Amino acid sequence: MTQEDAWSAETDIKTILTQLHIDDLSMRVGDLSGGQQKRVGLAQVLIESPDLLLLDEPTNHLDFDSIAWLEKYLSNYRGALVVVTHDRYFLDRVTNRIFELDRGRLFQYQGNYQAYVAKKAEQLEAEKSANHKQAQLYKQELAWMHAGAQARSTKQQARINRFQTLQAAKDAAPEANQQLDPIQIASARLGKKVIEMHHASLQFDDQPILKDFNWLVQPGTR
């Protein structure tokens, strides 16, 4: 490693530690809070900079500034990134491919979270249309079977076989997962007040987030 490389690595390390609010380097890991330990673990793997970076809920225990920095850092990451997260905004800004496990099958979608939602909606609509056509055909064939269908010809036997295939597919098909958005907003009337806060305080580890905070959210507030 050249002197320039060493200087660059030291600068990167300091940047990562600073952005994740890891300030007191003299503390033992065992003496840190759970959130601090999570940030130290995240800093460690970012400093190591592996070819394949695996992250599980990386935005947990991070404030808004740290999340914004992490999004930019990962967007420019030179290796491959696999992330598991419930933060759809984070997904939108960081990912370019999404994998979904639905009804026992793994689906792949190119693009960020918004692109995934759009493509998934198209997929569900096409699936709904195909299922409707199949259901209509099933009803038609069921009526024919109830009318006393007999396999007197090869054509009739083929139709009976088709009905049995439709029936087996109908019995085996799981319901589609229509939950496209992890956050569902109720459409019912919520009254005059949605959230009302008086002199609220909130802190993250030892860092104050809110202090003596007053807030009123009414229906329609943006």
- Homologous superfamily in CATH for domain 3-95: P-loop containing nucleotide triphosphate hydrolases (3.40.50.300)
pLDDT, tens digit, 9 for 90 and up, residues 154-207: 666 676 666 667 667 666 655 555 544 443 334 444 456 667 778 888 776 677
pTM confidence score: 0.55
pLDDT of residue 36: 87
Please report, for residues 43, 75, 93, 95, 153, the alpha-carbon distance to residue 72 in angstroms, rounded to integers and kept in the order given: 15, 5, 8, 11, 68
Write down the residue that tokens 């300030």 correspond to.
23
- With vertex at residue 84, the alpha carbon angle to CA 79 and CA 90, rounded to the nearest 5 degrees, is 80
Report CA Rg, the chain: 27
Q: Which residue has the higher pLDDT, 136 or 153?
A: 136
Q: Which residue has the higher pLDDT, 65 or 194?
A: 65
- Determine which of 7-11, 28-32, 166-170 has the lowest per-residue pLDDT on average: 166-170
What residue ranges do the domains of the chain occupy? 3-95, 117-172, 187-222
Secondary structure E strands in 23-117: 52-56, 80-84, 97-102, 105-110
pLDDT bin (cut points 50, 70, 90) of residue 77 is very high
Residue 63 pLDDT > 60: yes
pLDDT of residue 181: 44
DSSP, res 13: H
Closest CA to 88 of 107, 113, 67: 113
